[in-house]
Amino acid sequence: MTVPRFGHGSRVPGWDDAVDLTKDPATLPDPATTPVPADLRAEIERHMAKYPDRRSAAIPALAAAQRVHGWCSPEAVEQVACVMRLTPAYLLAVASFYDMLDTRPVGHRRVYVCTNISCSLCGGRELLGRLQAELADDPDVQVRGFECLGACDIAPMASIDGVYVGPIEDGEVAELARQVRDGEEPLPDKQLLRRPSADPHANTREWTPQSFAPPAKLERATPSNDPVPPEPSSFGAPMEGDAAGPSAPIEQAPNPEDDA
Ligand code: FES
């Protein structure tokens, strides 16, 4: 939200006035007039099924919609709200808080360059500037600085559509930019997931990495009302005694006896 300010910088009185309680409450999107792509609906429902309170699935549901639409557009938020039976405003409050959910149109290829302390000391800020300059003319790619991505041991590093690469040397920046632009695997020899680990069962050179596939060029998702085929469960068979957990308070119907 843009806070209205005077020329000298102070906030204009009234910018934080309370909501108008005389207005009609926000409404939920009508499923009859809000078509949702079947795959997206299925994924959101899978996330909702994991939690006793469906609101807990807001972040993965928004992330799923972002993968489909490229960003958390009004249409994307409307579709998530329709499936989750929440208001778009509730979801927008979540989306606008979290850094990896975009509430404005951006390139759907995401290059995050870490500029936190370890990476900065090793040239992270210069790396960010160079990658931004190299990829400035590609509207499909967003290059941005990021706080610690948790891979300080490969500083300076970047996340290319979720693939961690580092340490990135000066002489590799142009090649990395070309690989990003052409949808190629980024610096294969510098990927974190290919580094041998002290754990003999993890990340050894015998482990065959999955082939890199950049996010596909986005096309408008086609809504469908076809029935969604059941998803194969990724979990094992239920254990004896498994039962759904208790509902969170918001889901519980009021109990008149509580007031008695
Ligand atoms: S400081 Fe860059 S990954 Fe931690």
147 CA → ligand 1 middle, Å: 7
pLDDT digits (tens, 9 = 90+) for 70-114: 999 999 999 999 999 999 999 999 999 998 899 999 888 999 999
Q: Tell me 26's DSSP state.
A: P
pLDDT digits (tens, 9 = 90+) for 179-228: 999 989 999 989 988 877 666 666 555 545 556 677 776 665 555 555 55
What CA–CA distance (Å, rounded) separates 163 from 165? 6
Ligand 1 pocket residue status of 42, Cβ below 6 Å: no
Ligand 1 pocket residue status of 128, Cβ below 6 Å: no
pLDDT for 252: 47
Q: Strand, coil or helix: what is 165?
A: strand
186 CA → ligand 1 middle, Å: 18
H or E segment and range at residue 82: helix 74-84
Burial class (CB in 10 A: 0-12, 13-18, 19+), 108: buried
44 CA → ligand 1 middle, Å: 31
Query: Closest ligand 1 atom to the C-alpha of 151?
Result: 3
Arithmetic mean of pLDDT, 113-132:
96
CATH number of 38-97: 1.10.10
Mutation test of ligand 1: which of 147, 157, 159, 168 has the most ligand atoms closer than 8 Å to its C-beta? 157
In terms of CATH, what superfamily is 109-194?
Answer: Glutaredoxin (3.40.30.10)
| Spans of all domains in the chain | 38-97, 109-194
Contact 110, 142 (CB under 8 A): yes
pLDDT for 234: 46
